[in-house]
Each structure stands twice: as C-alpha cells, then as structure tokens.
Structure 1
Amino acid sequence: MNPDLLPLLKQAFGYSEFRDGQLPVIEAALQGRDSFVLMPTGGGKSLCYQLPALLLPHVTIVVSPLMSLMKDQVDALKANGIAAEFVNSSLSREQVLQVFTQLRRGELKLLYVAPERLLQPQFIERLLDVGVSLFAIDEAHCISQWGHDFRPDYMALALIRQRFPAVPVMALTATADGATRQDILQQLALQQAYIHLGSFDRPNIRYTVQEKFRPVEQLVSYLQQQEGASGIVYCGSRRKVDELSSQLAQRGFSVAGYHAGLSNEERNSIQDAFKRDDYQLIVATVAFGMGVNKSNIRYVVHFELPRTIEAYYQETGRAGRDGVAAEAMLLFDPADIAKMKRWLDAEENQQRAEVTWQRFLAMAAFAEAQTCRRLVLLNYFGEARQTRCGNCDTCLQPPQQFDGTELAQKALSCVYRVGQSFGMHHVIDVLRGGQNQRISELGHDKLSTWGLGKDLSHDYWLSILRQLIHFGLLQQDITAHSVLKLQPAAKPVLRGETLLSLAVPRLQSSKREPERLSKQQYDRPLFARLKTLRKHIAQRDDVPPFVVFSDASLIEMCQQLPTDNRSLLAISGVGQTKLARYGADFINEISDYLAADNQPPAGKLAK
C-alpha cells in the first residue's frame, strides 16, 4: 500500500481506516487502470476517486447527473480543505470563467461537470490543454439501456475514451444488475478494468412493510415516532404529493412538498431548506433525492409501491448514509398490482412493457414476502444469502399463522352469494351485516352470508380477502371494476377438503423498540446540544449541518467525550481542517456540559 494513503485519509477526510473495497479501487486509479465500482449508497464510493485525486498530478473530472449533487459534494470537499469546484448552468458566466481560470492555473484537484458540459468541443479542448488524470463517471447505470434510470446524454460519454485514450476511467454505481454492469463496461470501453462488486447490503437500514388500511393515519402514527428526525415520503404522483404534504402540515409536521411541477427556484429552495434541517420532512415524487447528499436522513417511506426493486433500493438508500441506524417503510396495497397491469396493457411498446411488468412483479413479491426482506433484496441482485438478517419486520416479528379455513369459507361463500359481481368493500359490508341503502335495494341483507362476520372489523376482512387473492382462491377482475370472482382453487376450501393457513392481520403500526438505536449507547441530551451547535455553525458558514459533522461523528463524540484537540482528532470524520475550523466550538460545548454535571448552560460559538 502507498504509505501516503492512510495519513492522507485521516488528514483530509478524518478517517483512520478504509471501508471494504475502497483501497484496491484507489490503488488501481493511482496505477492508471480503468475500474468499475459497485458499492451501496453510503458505502464510500466518492472517496474512491476523491482520495487519489489529491495525489494525481492533474485534475480529476467527475461526471455527475444533478446540479444539487455536485454542489453538496463540492461543499463537503471544501469543508475538508480540498480544492474542488463545479461547473453547471446554476453559475453565472463570470463564475464559470473564474473556475476555468483556477483550472488553467492547476489550482483544482476535482472538477464536477454534467455529461452535456463535458462533451462540448470547447470544454474538451480546454481539458486537453490542462491535462486530466482521471475521469470518474458517477451514477454510471444512467449510461445503460438496461439501467433503471437510463439517460441518453450518458451514452455519448464513450467519446472521452476516443479523445483521452491514456486517461483512466472509473465508473461508479450503487444499483446495477448483471446486464447493466456488462453494458456499462461496453459503453465506456473500459480496458482490463479492475472490477469491485461490493455487497448490496445496508445492514443499518431496517426494512418494514405495512399493509394499507388507512394510509394517512398509518403514516402519521409512524412519523410521530420519529422524534424530529429527517425523512422522505415518496408518492407516485404530483397530486398525491400536494394532497399529503398539506394534510401533514395541518397535523403540525415540519414538511414541504417537492415535484417536477414546481419551478426550479421553488425546488431548489425546498431542497436547500431540507439539507439545512429547516424542514424535517419532504413529501416528494421520485424526482427528489438522487442528488441529495444529505447523510443524516433517518427514514424513507414509500406511500405507494415503487415500480422496480432497483428504484426502491436506491430510494431507500438515501436513509442512513452516515452508517447510523435508519428505517425504510413501505405502505403496500395489493390493488397497486392491478393498476400497473392496466397501465402497461395500454403501452405501445409491448416488449418494453413486458420487461417493466416482470421488474414490477419482483417488487410486488418483495412487498408480499413472508420471509426475510433483506434476503429477497440481496438475492434479487445476485448476492446469494440464506441467513436471515434480524433487522426487518419479518425477522423481528414473524407473521403469526392461524387456521383460516372457516373465515375463508365465509368470505368465499359471500362472493358466490352476491353473484361474483361486486368488489371487496361491498362483500365486506355484507359479511359485517351492513344496513346501507344499496344493500337493502339489492336484497343482500337477506343472504345467508349477511352478518356472518360482524364480529370482525372492516380492515380485518380486507386483509383476509387480500390473502385469498394472493393464494389464488379469488381474482379481482380489473376489466370489470375489480369485482371478485371465485377461482378453481376455492372449491376444495369451500367443501372443507383443504385446510387453509392465513396470516393474522396486522392492523396497527407496530411500535419500534424503546431504544431505537439499541446498538449505539450514547448521551442523548449531549447529542441534542451538539446538533444545536452544529446547526448554528452551519448557518454561520452557510453550509448544510451534515457538512460540519455527520450524525455518526456526533454520536462518537457523545460516547468518547473528547475535551482536547488530540481526543477530538481521534473521532471518525474529524480531520485537520475540521479540527482547526470547528474543534474549539465542540470541545467547549462538551466541556461545559460535563462541568455542569449534565445541566445544559447555553454554549457559545468560538470566535
């Protein structure tokens, strides 16, 4: 190993050791080799090109798809004392020229650009003139037609191999199946590349799926348990974003809605406020988040079923990028499957529709799984595992089974008695002895199944019917208003020839353990004070709070209680630059807290 690497890692980034897979990728870059890097979000991909950039003679060009991602990474690099800039349409002409001047003088170690900018002939000539040591292609799955976020502009990046044949290229992504990986290698013409396929596992994320009954109330109950932590709620449409963000604001949550229907100024303002912890919660379409380099997002909620496991994995990966415990919660309605089927049936390109449908079915299978959810995810991406994770809902609270034969017979009989011509809610109303006008007019209050299930709630029966659909005993006819129809498999159950085991419906949001971060014991009152101090410093320096220090660094401070420069420098994430900029503030705050015997006097910023 290059003897300069570990000292530089600590001095520039504040880390004392490399994460899994980082060192060989960095060494390959220093040797001038191409590389392909697959690491999970939060796994340390950025360091793979940022650290070698400090040792290479010329500038490292980082291709990034979103302006906000560029700014976040450059802000974080500058906070560590590293010479980095970006060029995109958010800058004025004078600002762009200033960056080009720094580039010409050899003052920059890293320059972030969008693919459109990189491929401009004048820009390429400028780079040929100053020299490039490394090209890093971030979010490299965008180059592949098989990737879940294909972008045509990325395909033209093959040009850099022609114009810079001797400059190594590093392609990085968090989500790429086998077909996508091969396509990336081919499109970028990577030569004898070093390939690192890291684990897709994010062990700090807890995966939970809740069946939808009263989704807004379920979401509110979940959010009330989050204790002011930062989070994202994803919705499938702009209308739902506007509706849900308004409902949550009325409930007193610090929330904003985000979608492509807002102006650029509105979107940028909301995103900046979220990064600075001015909003605790963003309700958004999937247009939000790919470019958010915010490390202290503690939870991600999907209010509707995502279209692919790749999208779900990437979106949930925005939680817990700092390695601290985080949660991913999905609210699932099996009716979403029928809606997707109707939508794809209208698709003109049936070949593409078939691929989309198969990927969606994999996502639906994840939501319906009765086994460890992490195993479903990892095996989907080809990472074969059989050991349960112990950190998802099905591991922590395995579904309870019961003999559901009698309930199934009541439900199936009711579907038959109403002529297989009504949907779930009407069938449930009959089972529960409903006395509304429609039931009376249809004479369904005279049926033998009327009132047979009045001792069970509407939501309980809803879960039972969904399970009967899942087992193939019933089918929702999406061509006829989703009416329920009996299937051949229902006959032996109705006749009592077959017993049927069902899962006990989970009708309430399960409460998390009292100690949410049970593996991380630390002083919570001190953590709250350090977060407040961090927020003040961030406002003073005009940067997001997590750029000052991550939650992981603050937690370690609360465990180790550093009260001098040497002990603070031992904290992960504290390098020489941050020690000089922020060290006195945090040492003073911790010392004041300890001296007051945990009675919190107001800390003051160091001058």
Structure 2
Amino acid sequence: MPTSRAADTHSTDPLDILQQVFGYTAFRGQQGAIVQQVTQGGDALVLMPTGGGKSLCYQVPAIARHRAGHGVTLVVSPLIALMQDQVGALDELGVSAAFLNSTLDGDEARRIERDLLAGRLVLLYAAPERILTPRFLAMLDSLHERGLLGLLAIDEAHCVSQWGHDFREEYLGLSELHERYPTVPRIALTATADDHTRADIIERLALAEAQLFIASFDRPNIRYTIVEKADAKKQLLRFLADEHEGDAGVVYCQSRKKVEDTAAWLKSEGISALPYHAGMESEARRVNQDRFLREEGIVMVATVAFGMGIDKPDVRFVAHLDLPKNIEGYYQETGRAGRDGLPADAWMAYGLADVVNQRRMIDDGEAGEDFKRLQRAKLDALLALAEAHDCRRVRLLAYFGEHSEPCGNCDNCLHPPETWDATEAARKLLSCIYRCHQASGFGFGAGHLIDVLRGKRTDKVVQRHHDTLSTFGIGADIAETQWRSVLRQLIALGHVQSEGEYNTLSLTDSARAVLKGEITVTLRVPSEAPKGRSRRSSGSSRGGAEKPPPLPLDEAGLQRFAALKAWRAEIARAHKLPPYVVFHDATLAEMAREAPDSLDALAGVSGVGAKKLEAYGSEILRVLAVNAG
C-alpha cells in the first residue's frame, strides 16, 4: 500500500481535503456538517440513501484526523467486495488504505498489520468477526495506548438490528469497541432504517449521545415501476429490450434455482447475464462479481446476497422478479441503481403468489410473535406501495417519515392507472370465502374460491358441494385474472389473510365493514406495464451498445469521450481495477466537453484530485489533443 509522509504536512481542513484528494469543490447536502462533527471528535449516526456519498463522510475525517496525528480509522465493513472496492479507489487517490480479510495470504496480512501498528495506514477495513478476535483487539489496544486510533466507522449499521432487513449477529459485539475505547469518536452509517431499526442501532451501539443526521431518502433519478405478473420472464425481457439494451443491471430473484434458471434463459436470449447466490462456489461468485464490476453491460441475476457494498455507479436498472420482504429491503436493493445520479429504473413484477409466499415465510419462521407481527406490518406496507393508485415515491418516502409531492417520475405519475368501484365484487369474494369456510369448517385457496365464484363445477367444487352455495357463479361475469387482482388487492388492503401450510384464505376483522357496505373499495384495473413508455421512443434511451455520455456533447466531444473511455479501460486492466475507480463517466464526459489543454485546466474538472492529476494528467491531455477534432 502506498504511503506518503509528505501527506502529514498537508491541510487538515476538510474542504481542502475534499478538493485536493477527491477533486470535488463542495460537499453535498449534509456531508459538510457530518464531516465537521466527526473530524472534531464527535459521534454521528448517519442515515443517507445509497449513492448519497456516505463513504466521504468518514473518509475525509479519516484523512484529516490522520494528518492531525490521531492515527488510523478502522472501518467496520460486512463484505469483502466493499473493502476491496473502497481500498482500490483510495489507493488511486493516493490515500494509504488496506483491508484485512480472508483473501490475503499470511505474508500480506502480516505486512498490513505492521503498517497498521506503525501508524502508516490512514484507513483499515475489516469485518466485525475479525475485529472482535483477541489478536485484532490487542492491536487496537496498542494503537489506542499510543493515541493512534483516530476514528471508528461502522458501515451498514442496520446489520446490528434484529428489526432490520439484514440482521447479522456478529454486529452485536461491536458495542465492545466503545467500551474499550470510549474516547475514540464513532460514526455509524446506513442507507435504510425505520424507527424500530434506528432505535436498535442507537441502543446496541451506545450512540444515545451521537448527533443524528437524516438525509433525504429521495432518489429522484430512479423511476419506480411495478407491474402485475403475467409471464414475468417475458415481461422482464421486454423491459430490457425496450429500455435497457446493453446496460448494466441487477435482477433479483428469491431462490437460488430461480437465479440459475433466469440467468441461463436471459443468456439464451442474447443478454450477457451471470448468476450470483450463496450456494455457488466462492471462486465462481468472485469471478462473476469481478466481471460485473469491470465489464460493461453485464446483467447480474442474484439473490439479495448480492449488492450490499457494491460501489458500481453505472447500474442502470434493478429489477425484481419476486416481492422483497419489506420496504427497507426494496429501497436498499433498488438504490443500487443510478448511484452516479443519472437516469435509472427500479422495475418489479409481482403477483398473488408472491404475497402468499412472503406471508408463509413469516408465519413459518422461528422468531417470536412480536417479531412476526412487525414483519407482517412491514410486508403490508410494501403491498400497499405495490397496489397504490397514487405516486409511488410519495408513499415510499412517507414510510421513512419524509413528506414529498408527486414526483412525475414513477409509473403512476407518468401513466395514472385506471380504477374501478370494486365494492360489489369485493363483497362477493368476501362472501365466498365466508360461505366456503362455513360449509366445510376450514379455508380454501385462491384457485378454488375463484372457481366457485365463476361457477366452474370442478371435481373439488362438486366434492365439497360448493356448487350448492349461494355464492356459486355470482362472479361469472368477471375473468379469472381480474378476480386474482381483486383478491391480491384485498390482501394488500388487509381485508383478507392467508394462513397455514396450504395458504388458505380467511377474513380479517376489517372485512365485516366491506360486507356490510360501510366502506367503498376502489381498486386498480388489471393491466400490464403501460404501453409506449420506451425511453428510446421518447428520445432519452439509455440503451444500445454505445452508451450516450452523461453530458450533452457535440460530435467532436463524443469522439473525445469514446477515446477517453478506451484509455480508461486500458488503465483499469493494467491496474486490475473496475473502470469507474479510475474515473467516473461523468468526469470523462466533462473532460470531453471542456477539452482542457493544460494541467491547471484539467485540475478544474470535477473528480480530478491531486494524485490522479499527477498520475494521469499528461496522458489525458495527450488523448484529448489527438482527438481534438
């Protein structure tokens, strides 16, 4: 790892560091206040969306405190991929950083430990289970005794909460760090935390005295679309072909088998798709992840095990073929799209089976009833989002306690759904559920109930004598697909619930008011994705083998942009780094537009720090000169 003693004489002012090291002229949003709090030795709990710049909130203070003689910043990170990505990026910036994890051999690990104990590292990344070993704590004790433990940064802090969407038991032991080193400032960061999770983070990490920073959870560049399942794979293929041909993206599936099947099917359709799930050999996972990070246009089909800590900025879409567990999970997974601030899509297809499966997983879990009750409530909130007639973003942000106005950039805003007065249909369905249960003494599934409503004398209907019920055939005028939509929406509204091993349906207390006609039921008209949404047809496509740059460029600018991308690809291969770690597309596009002809002019481009200017400045100017147009 590179070390520069000269760096100790540099400014400790956070804004100077932001400009000199990272190449940015100003902090965004609350970054400046967070950095100031931590740099001055205060604790902070930071809730900031994915792509909001969380890493700068501890990296800038880490550099400032190291230059001021306070020593190393320890970053608690749950994933190897995150550590490697961040250390690679810091190395490119000339910041002495390292990680300790299972990918290192013994000699490499010992060398990094020597650098750590000698105070040469600015940041060290490690997982909680390694940090809490006696050997590692002994090293931290030594640093602390010499005043060389400058900051503790706990990334993905929601992992400490059993109420959250990604609980990790090893995070529970992190409170020991504060007990051992009470004078060392701490910053805990997460992209998602509802009230329960936030309270748990504060309690378990002893952050009651920390200053709380809550950034806006809005990701205005992400377009949210949720469609009803009707051959989900073909719907996905149509979405990719119409709007994201050649783009990098992630497709989430619930099961490992579905991941494998979907990746193979997409590949057969000519899409560069790779699978990723915990059941694969670790080397196969690593190879696929590296390809996703380093190559353009890869579609990763994955379980939710993939993505946390992945810094790839140009993911243009996240698609869900199965319903997530809750809004926090949905928000964090969709937030992996468009981290560069450019247009991106969050697309999901969901149906009645998704609802039933998620409820069954909650009911069959080994958790206590209080936990199950909370998980059901969280699922209900996600269902309400999926079935909403109004702005998706307004509902999504309201879940996190943030008020907003209709966004104009979700499917419901762009193509307001048709609705219908489904009160009478709802009463018929609820009556059918009640009558079938009353006649047989137990509940039935969706298919059987719809057969009764539509007057179909199947063997099961006749055997149970349900063809003699008053509700037999009273819904013959409504198609099966529409009945399924009605049932799904009644479950989302909380009037119907699924129960037991066979997912039988029963009425909730609120169903009584519907049956009595005391409330009106307004539902969405069943439909697939709105027609004519293709961004290509509207002139703003992100598709195609040659991606348009992030900034408008003339013909000469486009030539310079292409040349810079080709140069960046060579550098990335030589350094064994993802291309975006060298420079983001937005930085290359600004270079291509401004065409700087001197190092001073190049230094004014956003994202060009001092180390990158020194390392690459002359080569960039050469590329620009050759392609001056």
Q: Normalising TM by the smaller chain, what interval?
A: 0.7 to 0.9
Distance of 1:483 and 1:564 partners within structure 2: 71
- Tell whether 2:244 aligns with 1:235: no
Structure 1 residues 440, 129: closer, same or farther in 2, change over 3 A? Answer: closer
Distance of 1:212 and 1:594 partners within structure 2: 50
Q: Secondary structure at the match of 2:316?
A: strand
Distance of 1:170 and 1:428 partners within structure 2: 54
- 1:121 paired residue among 114, 134, 139: 134
CA contact (8 A) 2:45 2:187 kept: yes
1:322-361 correspondence runs (5 A): 322-348=340-366, 349-361=368-380
Q: 2:328 is aligned with what amino acid?
A: E
1:119-198 correspondence runs (5 A): 119-130=132-143, 131-190=148-207, 192-198=209-215
- Tell whether 2:605 aligns with 1:583: no
1:18-57 correspondence runs (5 A): 18-56=27-65, 57=69
Distance of 2:549 and 2:422 partners within structure 1: 38
Structure 1 residues 184, 502: closer, same or farther in 2, change over 3 A? Answer: closer
Distance of 2:590 and 2:290 partners within structure 1: 27
* Residue 8 of structure 2: aligned partner: none
Q: CA deviation at 1:504?
A: 3.6
- 1:522 paired residue among 540, 544, 552: 552
* Residue 262 of structure 2: aligned partner: 244
* Residue 210 of structure 1: aligned partner: 227
- Tell whether 2:299 aligns with 1:286: no
* Residue 5 of structure 2: aligned partner: none
Distance of 2:12 and 2:62 partners within structure 1: 16
Distance of 2:506 and 2:179 partners within structure 1: 60
Q: CA deviation at 1:433?
A: 12
Q: Secondary structure at the match of 2:125?
A: strand
Structure 1 residues 175, 427: closer, same or farther in 2, change over 3 A? Answer: closer
Q: Deviations over 1:305-341 (max 9, x none)?
A: 1001111111111112222222111111133222222
* Residue 601 of structure 1: aligned partner: none
Q: Normalising by structure 1, what TM-score?
A: 0.85
Unaligned runs of 5+ in 1: 596-607
- 2:110 paired residue among 97, 100, 108: 97
Structure 1 residues 474, 152: closer, same or farther in 2, change over 3 A? Answer: closer
Q: Deviations over 1:504-559 (max 9, x none)?
A: 43324542332147996523944555434322321122100110111332343344
Q: Secondary structure at the match of 1:359?
A: helix
1:439-588 correspondence runs (5 A): 463=485, 466=488, 502-508=523-529, 510=531, 511-513=533-535, 514=538, 515-516=540-541, 521-523=551-553, 525-526=558-559, 527-588=561-622
* Residue 6 of structure 2: aligned partner: none
Unaligned runs of 5+ in 2: 1-10, 543-547
Q: CA deviation at 1:72?
A: 0.5
Distance of 1:553 and 1:193 partners within structure 2: 35
Structure 1 residues 452, 115: closer, same or farther in 2, change over 3 A? Answer: closer
Q: CA deviation at 1:387?
A: 1.4
Q: Secondary structure at the match of 1:297?
A: coil
Distance of 2:211 and 2:476 partners within structure 1: 67
Structure 1 residues 469, 43: closer, same or farther in 2, change over 3 A? Answer: closer
Distance of 1:476 and 1:145 partners within structure 2: 25
Q: Deviations over 1:531-589 (max 9, x none)?
A: 34322321122100110111332343344344443333222211122223333444444
Distance of 1:498 and 1:24 partners within structure 2: 49
Q: Deviations over 1:415-461 (max 9, x none)?
A: 9999999976789899999999999999x9xx9889957xx8x7567
- 2:73 paired residue among 53, 56, 60: 60
Alignment size in residue pairs: 585
Q: Deviations over 1:81-100 (max 9, x none)?
A: 11111111110110011112
* Residue 322 of structure 2: aligned partner: 304
Q: Secondary structure at the match of 1:48?
A: helix
* Residue 87 of structure 1: aligned partner: 100
Q: Secondary structure at the match of 1:507?
A: coil
Q: Normalising by structure 2, what TM-score?
A: 0.82
Q: CA deviation at 1:17?
A: 0.4
Q: CA deviation at 1:129?
A: 2.5
Q: Which sits farther off after the overlay, 460-469 or 7-16?
A: 460-469
Structure 1 residues 482, 555: closer, same or farther in 2, change over 3 A? Answer: farther
Q: 1:109 is aligned with what amino acid?
A: V
Q: CA deviation at 1:124?
A: 2.3
CA contact (8 A) 1:402 1:502 kept: yes
Structure 1 residues 463, 530: closer, same or farther in 2, change over 3 A? Answer: farther
Distance of 1:490 and 1:106 partners within structure 2: 69
Q: Deviations over 1:324-382 (max 9, x none)?
A: 22211111113322222233333343332222211111111111111211121221112
Structure 1 residues 192, 500: closer, same or farther in 2, change over 3 A? Answer: closer
Structure 1 residues 588, 423: closer, same or farther in 2, change over 3 A? Answer: farther
